Amino acid sequence: MDLPFVVATLTRRGLLTPGSPIRVASQLNALRTWGWSLAGELRQAAARDPGRTAVIDENGVELTYHDLLDRAERMARSMRAGLGVQTGDRIGVLCRNHHGLIETIVAATLLGVDAVLVNTGLSAAQLGTVAEEQRLRLLVHDDEFADRVLGLPAELHRLDERAREELVAGALPGDLHPPERDGRIIVLTSGTTGTPKGARRPTPSGFGPLVSIIDRIPLHARDRVMIAAPIFHTWGFAALQVCLALRATIVLHRRFDPAATLAALTANRCDALFAVPVMVQRLMEVPPPDPRPSLTVVAVSGSALPGGLAPKFMDAYGDVLYNLYGSTEVSWASIAGPQDLRQAPTTAGRPPHGTRLELLDDDGRPVPDGRVGRIFVGNEMLFEGYTSGASRETRDGLLDTGDLGRLNADGLLFVDGRADDMIVSGGENVFPSEVEDLLAQLPQVREVAVIGVPDPEYGQRLSAFLALHPGETLDPEAVREYVRHYLARFSVPRDVIYVKYLPRNATGKVLARELRRYYG
């Protein structure tokens, strides 16, 4: 990434403003010594703004950057001295969004320990599989998951919230030095189709990844930011990285509630919100507060934006919505800003600076605009492979996302869905997401999912699952006729099934395997 662009972006976002020479020197030394790991990012923030509020929990806990770093260092020393955790070990972190989660991840990186961010939605059986496959030395968990961890092997040490606080309070004095190896953050894939895989996240090598994001999403130094997206997910963790780099004040709630979120945004004078699309959808279902939060950024990622949601949200809260398309494996691929979403509400936008995106056919050749192709992405934050040793297909330095998409004449990307979601019905290729976007525009529909199911005559057929707004009704044949009016006949769902709600994981993705249980 060219230096003039980096300097211009950092200046525009307030990161190169003058400060105390001693603090600036200490900040730069922290980055030189500890690099761009989470530990390095927290150290630089504490060096430059030690008295600034770093995190605000919903229960009233407020910690400055100095205090947050002190607590993380205490936990690191106690894990090393009291629990024998060493560089190269792996620990699991089964926590919702609160300051203890941040402290634990930072403590791991201070020691050169890999932190496995465990999805809070995993079953006890899935958790046991993850603990075994990831060879966890220690599991730090919230109290609410005490029953879920009971069946784990006895040799796996477990820390609940009280035990974690005791480690922090009882830490012995001592120095922490940069470890021989960087501790990796291991994010689990969403696991919508089975047991999640561990994906090793790289440590940033400099300002490049931060600049790529804040160039397109106008976040600024010392913003006040609510992270509603779960931090165990790639998007929530990316939000944490960005916030620490910006020396932002981070507002956290353990669970998402739309009314409580809106109240917190106002009470804490938040400038920005990081969320997943279903959260934005839920915000539209409650009366907006008066006055409305003075947000400049609502950044979403993790799943597709439902059709029609973007303009409705921006009509209510202003042109502040930014949609990032990416994955655990490629980090980011493209970003759509408010102008893009006004023009095309379902677009994934354009690649940010420093990112290559190509749509290729099965033979690796670029497809023309308007044609569907496999989405390949290249940037400096591609994952380092799965912990199992598996990886993804690469072509000319670009990684396969596993998604299919197309570019329009203006260069906007549209994602048609996972390559394995596409079905062949009667010899025709059908993308369920196209039908979902259409049905989501019906005023009676609260949420919708469309999947492919086996069919003895056509090979596969579409099945639409609709959750309606309270008090609404919709005739199945009217649904089919609506689709028939706008799309080809093979896109018409043969089955229309009404449900109270769609099964989703913690990041808002619909669990297709749960829907398929309707068919036995």
User: Does residue 509 belong to any structural domain of this protein?
Assistant: yes
Question: Mean pLDDT, the chain, as a whole number?
Answer: 92
User: Does residue 188 belong to any structural domain of this protein?
Assistant: no
**154 vs 75 pLDDT, higher one:** 75
User: Does residue 197 belong to any structural domain of this protein?
Assistant: no
CB-count burial class (<10 Å; 0-12, 13-18, 19+) for 347: buried
Residue 192 has pLDDT above 60, yes or no: no
Residue 50 has pLDDT above 80, yes or no: yes
User: Does residue 455 belong to any structural domain of this protein?
Assistant: yes
Specify the pLDDT at position 44. Answer: 97
Q: In which element (H, E) is residue 453 found?
A: strand 445-455
Specify the pLDDT at position 519. Answer: 84
Eight-state DSSP code of residue 15: T
Q: Where would I find the beta strands (DSSP E) of 363-444?
A: 373-378, 394-395, 398-407, 413-418, 423-425, 428-430
**274: closest CA among 241, 306, 239?**
239
Eight-state DSSP code of residue 491: G
Dist CA 457 CA 436 (whole Å): 23
Kindly state the average pLDDT of the residues 417-426: 82
User: Does residue 469 belong to any structural domain of this protein?
Assistant: yes
Specify the pLDDT at position 238. Answer: 96
Confidence class for position 455, pLDDT limits 50, 70, 90: confident
Least confident of 161-170, 182-191, 251-260, 336-345: 182-191
Specify the pLDDT at position 422. Answer: 84
Dist CA 143 CA 99 (whole Å): 14
Specify the pLDDT at position 350. Answer: 97
- For 155-174, the pLDDT digits (tens) are 899 999 999 999 999 999 88
Question: Is the peptide bond between 196 and the residue preceding it cis, with omega within 30 degrees of 0?
Answer: no
| Containing structural domain, residue 451 | 423-518
Dist CA 498 CA 129 (whole Å): 34
**293: closest CA among 275, 310, 276, 317?**
317
Specify the pLDDT at position 425. Answer: 84
How many domains does the chain contain in total?
1
User: Does residue 130 belong to any structural domain of this protein?
Assistant: no
Residue 61 has pLDDT above 50, yes or no: yes
Specify the pLDDT at position 23. Answer: 95
Specify the pLDDT at position 139. Answer: 97
User: Does residue 112 belong to any structural domain of this protein?
Assistant: no
User: Does residue 481 belong to any structural domain of this protein?
Assistant: yes
Dist CA 232 CA 212 (whole Å): 22
CATH number at residue 436: 3.30.300.30
Contact 289/262 with Cβ under 8 angstroms? yes
Residue 288 has pLDDT above 90, yes or no: no
Specify the pLDDT at position 306. Answer: 80
Q: Using CA atoms of 13, 242, 192, 483 in order, give the dihedral in degrees to the nearest 10.
A: -10
- For 223-262, the pLDDT digits (tens) are 999 999 999 999 999 999 999 999 999 999 999 999 999 9
**110 vs 303 pLDDT, higher one:** 110
Specify the pLDDT at position 193. Answer: 47
Dist CA 24 CA 331 (whole Å): 30
Kindly state the average pLDDT of the residues 406-433: 87
